[in-house]
Amino acid sequence: AQSVTQPDIHITVSEGASLELRCNYSYGATPYLFWYVQSPGQGLQLLLKYFSGDTLVQGIKGFEAEFKRSQSSFNLRKPSVHWSDAAEYFCAVSNFGNEKLTFGTGTRLTIIP
């Protein structure tokens, strides 16, 4: 069965600083990987996805993620965070055929001035 680990429950970053959120997955084949963002009281919005090809994927709002098969990781990065990036971030992995998603427990991001 597939699983996702987000080891950081809560991260605090200064506005303008760089950001990296960690995600490790467990899956027996080539995974489909996603990052979603959730603002308070809202649903989840897709930031980016990886299915195949280039291991560095670009998403919305200036985010990017890199798939590293050898480390079973799909870390999310942003070079300079903005106060509006404060939210909860979820990594997810899909089974073959992308029928079902398994989510990590999320990382809450706080931005300080």
Partner 1 sequence: NAGVTQTPKFRVLKTGQSMTLLCAQDMNHEYMYWYRQDPGMGLRLIHYSVGEGTTAKGEVPDGYNVSRLKKQNFLLGLESAAPSQTSVYFCASRGEGSNQPQHFGDGTRLSIL
The reply on whether position 45 binds partner 1 by CB under 8 A is: yes
Name residues whose C-beta falls within 8 Å of residue 30's C-beta, 6 or more positions apart in sequence. Answer: 52
Out of 32, 63, 67, 74, the residue judged to bind partner 1 by CB under 8 A:
32
User: Which residues, 80 to 99, sit near partner 1 by CB under 8 A?
Assistant: 90, 97-99
Least Å distance, CB 93 to partner 1, is 12
Residues in contact with partner 1, counted by CB under 8 A, come to a total of: 23
> x/- contact string, 58-77, with partner 1 (CB under 8 A)?
--------------------
Q: Does 103 bind partner 1 (CB under 8 A)?
A: yes
Nearest to 6 by CA among 28, 38, 30: 38
CB-based burial, 66-81: b 16+ in 10 Å, e otherwise: bbeeeeebbbbebeeb
Token output for 20? 């990296």
Residue with tokens 């603002």: 39
Q: Which residues bind partner 1 (CB under 8 A)?
A: 9, 32, 34, 36, 41-46, 49, 51, 90, 97-106
